[in-house]
Amino acid sequence: MAQSTKPESSTATSPSLRWRTVDIVVASVVGVAFGVVFWAWGLLWNGPADAIPLPGRAFMYGVWLVPAVLGGLIIRKPGAALYTETVAAVISMALGTSWGWFTFAQGALQGVAAEIAFLIVAYRAFGVLVASLAGILAGLAAGIFDIIVWYPASEYDTATMRIPYVAITAASALVIAGIGSWLLTRALAQTGALDRFPSGRERAAV
């Protein structure tokens, strides 16, 4: 009995970080699905939501960061956050956005930022705290990118617009991308959709 449980314990503490075919497929599906969401969210951002003055509109931003955190929580492999967020960015860019190729660059940056959170815990913890950190880091990366590229200090006041914009973006990312993705992962696990992943076999993870 003791001999049979030892290998299982070793596997649990040293999970495989190698990508499987199913990892690539599911990460791609998540990325493509959110790429469509990104495209639609861009229409909302530049359409009806344009009536909300900056920096207030940044409360919507977290939706653009969900795949980075969600991909990391589901796949639990190095590069998952980066891959899923980048695929989503490429799809939305292909569908047509007002931000052009910057969409790809920013998507990759946001994915890398979220990836740092999972790297810090060596891809061994995937609870709400890690998800929240991943969301915040992605939000900070997104907000800083925006104020450098789209809202430079020469045109926008730093104290009343640029700093609040980054703060609101990070807060939105914490709630929507961080906590929201953690809750979504748990909900998907309950349906059995993630049974081929550790994220689906740990339904009570916190």
CB 32 within 8 A of CB 91: yes
Calculate the average pLDDT of the chain: 91
Cα–Cα distance measured from residue 184 to residue 123, given in angstroms and rounded to the nearest whole number? 19
pLDDT at 7 over 70: no
pLDDT at 2 over 60: no
Q: What is the pLDDT of residue 15?
A: 65
E strand or H helix at 186, and its extent? helix 180-191
Q: What is the pLDDT of residues 44-69, one digit of tens each?
A: 999 999 899 999 999 999 999 999 99
Q: Taking Cα atoms as reference points, which of 199, 58, 204 lies closest to residue 142?
A: 58
Q: What is the pLDDT of residue 3?
A: 44
User: What pTM, to 2 d.p., does this model score?
Assistant: 0.89
pLDDT band at 199 (very low <50, low <70, confident <90, very high): confident
Q: Write the DSSP symbol of residue 62.
A: G
E-strand spans in the chain?
none
The 3-state secondary structure of 188-204 reads HHHHCCCCCCHHHHCCC
Q: Report the helix count and the strand count for the chain, using DSSP H and E.
A: 9, 0
C-alpha count within 13 angstroms, C-beta hemisphere, residue 75: 32
Locate the domains of the chain by residue range: 17-201
Q: What is the pLDDT of residue 201?
A: 75
Q: What is the pLDDT of residue 47?
A: 93
Q: What is the pLDDT of residues 112-129, one digit of tens each?
A: 999 999 999 999 999 999
Q: What is the pLDDT of residue 17?
A: 86
Pick among 1.20.1420, 1.10.1760, 1.10.1660, 1.20.120: CATH of 17-201: 1.10.1760
What are the structure tokens assigned to 181, written together? Answer: 């993705």
Residue scoring higher pLDDT (97 or 182): 182
Q: What is the pLDDT of residue 102?
A: 95
Q: What is the pLDDT of residue 203?
A: 57
Q: What is the pLDDT of residue 29?
A: 97
